Structure 1
Amino acid sequence: MSNYGMIPVAGKGNIVSVLKKNVSIETALSAGEANDANWDHIGYLAGITPVTMTKEVNAEIYLDNPDGYTTKSTGGKDAGDLSFQIGYAPGLAVQQRLVDIYDVSNGEVEKNWYRVKSPTEDPNQYVVNMYFGPMSSLGAPSSIENSADMKRDITVAVEGRPKLAEDFLRSALTQPTRSTSQSSSSS
């Protein structure tokens, strides 16, 4: 088992994709989180702001707390928003599809899976984070100062807990090896 994903991930080389129409997340996961067969690559990625997961913290103030400090407990969790900026290429079928996803038209559903595939120190390996939710913002194409290319900002309101690279890597590291599972089944 290699140790890919053990050094900080570079920003350059990230790929954002949306789950192909009529493909289930179970199908995509069974093919492997980094397998591209079930994903539509969104296009030229100009920037990305990953989610910031937050947890509500409730303060409970009691006058008779023994140490005089506030007691705190956690409440609901929010996965936040996934935002990315793409090079505006309206002729790409996947970018036309993004408009359909936003409008919930042409057989598209409101909530979709989005995948961010990031490079590692091994050029043949990637780490993957997946997010589910509705597109909350489809920005109008705009130009950036010092750039001749038009860009479009997209925001996804992430619902539920994202499927994080740490989860995928943890499960890959805890998978029993063939010899371990064979020896434990023969005992």
Structure 2
Amino acid sequence: MTAYWLAQGVGVLAFLIGITTFINRDERRFKMQLALYSATIGGHFFLMGAIPAGMSAELNALRTLISMRTRNLWVMAIFIFLTLTLGLVKLHHPIELLPIIGTVASTWALFRCKGLTTRCVMWCSTACWVTHNFWLGSIGGTLIEGSFLVMNGVNIIRFWRMQKRGIDPFKIEKEVAEKR
């Protein structure tokens, strides 16, 4: 098996891990699954030679796990600084800015937003990643981010409609937080 197909296989594995991430209404489960997906897709990008995307994805995984414990502005700033510094140093093409922009946006969302707002910012971040992945030729990465774009978009609309009817789609998240 060539290194290219190994890399694509890891990307498809990430696709399988991440396919249901945005269906979760429980914020903790959502973030745990997102972290596992990010770590796996980061390995895929490193194998594909896309170093800025790989670093951004691995930082995403770590950042997502840490955001479950703290929403401290300094921690958020450290992750944004690391994303910009590590990503920009290895930049070879302007399109490689997209995962960096997407990672900065999703970092802000995970530390500063909740519920539907988190998912809306994550949708914009996903649009950056899917564009990059298509340009890179990442089969698994394009499939998963394209799926995230559609699934998260559908869920944003579904959750928004629930809110318009007076139903809190994130009630389970609030109940779990109150029990802690």
Name the structure where helix makes up a greater proportion of residues.
Answer: 2
Alignment TM-score, normalising by the size of structure 1: 0.28
Alignment TM-score, normalising by the size of structure 2: 0.28
Which of 1 and 2 has greater Rg?
1
Name the structure where strand makes up a greater proportion of residues.
Answer: 1
